[in-house]
Amino acid sequence: MLLELSTTIAVSCSACGRLSTDEINIFQLSGGTVHQLKCSSCGAKKVSIKRTKKGYIQIDYFCLLCSSIHKKIVSPKKFWHSDRVTPLLCKETGLNLGYFGSTEMIKSELQRQKEELNMMADELGFEDFVNPELMLEVLDYLHDIAAEGRLNCECGSHDINIELFNDRLELRCNNCEAYIDISVKTRDDLTELKKEGRVHLHSLKGKPHNSRDPWINI
């Protein structure tokens, strides 16, 4: 009996930021072949996969956060037989760019994320946004970098509020009222935001403390 092993990789494109999935089978990595994965939307290279001389699987993935190539080396067992999804992280920021695992687990993970986003959309009432799905992705990313300490104000405060508009959002410091507008119209807006890797508000000297009730407090 011939057993065909396969693994699915879901990773964000470093050029356009779109997350897509690709299935890899064991025959595509035979004979020292380097298997390239390209973005189905823009054609940019996303991932290179090969088997090392010692039999391990080497994954080189292009990072949209720090514009470099990260390397992950795993055992064949972990690559082909893992019982959970394995994250592909940016080595500079620690943020998740994607993951690999069985097709069923990847589908389940993507569905779980979709359900979480839908729940957030229902709670916030996203019907009036120009691009509701993109707004949710931007909010999700902002929460990630806030957790990593990469969203702050020049005054030293990490107490940042978000106010939502139909095609943008406003980040405002609760301490000094410094603010920044972030466009949320096209996927290019999210790509550019991720390329920065952080959000830094510039303080406004002489401004009083902001006492408004925020929509969201990160």
In a domain, 164, yes or no: yes
Is the model's pLDDT at 194 over the cut of 60? yes
Same domain? For 44 and 88 the reply is yes
DSSP classification of residue 7 = E
In a domain, 116, yes or no: no
Question: Which stretch of 14-23, 95-104, 209-218 has the lowest confidence by average pLDDT?
Answer: 209-218
In a domain, 118, yes or no: no
Contacting residues for 199 by C-beta, under 8 A, at least 6 apart = 142, 145, 150, 151, 152, 171, 180, 182, 193
Tokens of 207: 């401004």
Residue 35 banded pLDDT, cuts 50, 70, 90? very high
Is 51 within 8 Å of 32 (Cβ atoms)?
yes
Domain of 144?
A: 125-217
Q: Domain tally for the chain? A: 2
Same domain? For 90 and 180 the reply is no
Residue 196: CB atoms within 10 A of its CB come to 11
In a domain, 82, yes or no: yes
Same domain? For 34 and 78 the reply is yes
Same domain? For 130 and 47 the reply is no
For residue range 121-175, list pLDDT tens digits in order: 666 665 667 787 788 888 888 888 887 788 888 888 888 888 888 888 999 888 8
Give the chain's end-to-end CA distance (angstroms, integer). 54
In a domain, 86, yes or no: yes
Is the model's pLDDT at 205 over the cut of 90? no
Cα 199 from chain centroid? 15
Phi and psi at residue 179, to the nearest 5° = -145, 165
Predicted confidence at residue 94, as pLDDT, reads 82
Predicted confidence at residue 202, as pLDDT, reads 81
Scanning the chain, the segments in alpha helix (DSSP H) are: 76-81, 103-124, 132-147, 187-196
Domain boundary, last residue among 65, 87, 110: 110
Contacting residues for 113 by C-beta, under 8 A, at least 6 apart = none
For residue range 55-110, list pLDDT tens digits in order: 999 999 998 878 889 999 999 999 999 889 999 998 887 888 899 999 999 999 88
In a domain, 117, yes or no: no
Tokens 């957030």 sit on residue? 120
Same domain? For 104 and 129 the reply is no
Predicted confidence at residue 123, as pLDDT, reads 65
Domain boundary, last residue among 110, 140, 165: 110
Predicted confidence at residue 71, as pLDDT, reads 95
Predicted confidence at residue 96, as pLDDT, reads 84
In a domain, 34, yes or no: yes
Same domain? For 151 and 206 the reply is yes
In a domain, 83, yes or no: yes
Residue 183 banded pLDDT, cuts 50, 70, 90? very high
For residue 4, count CB atoms less than 10 angstroms from its CB and return exposed for 0-12, middle for 13-18, buried for 19 or more.
exposed
Angle at 63 between CA 161 and CA 74, to 5 degrees: 120
Tokens 């940019």 sit on residue? 44
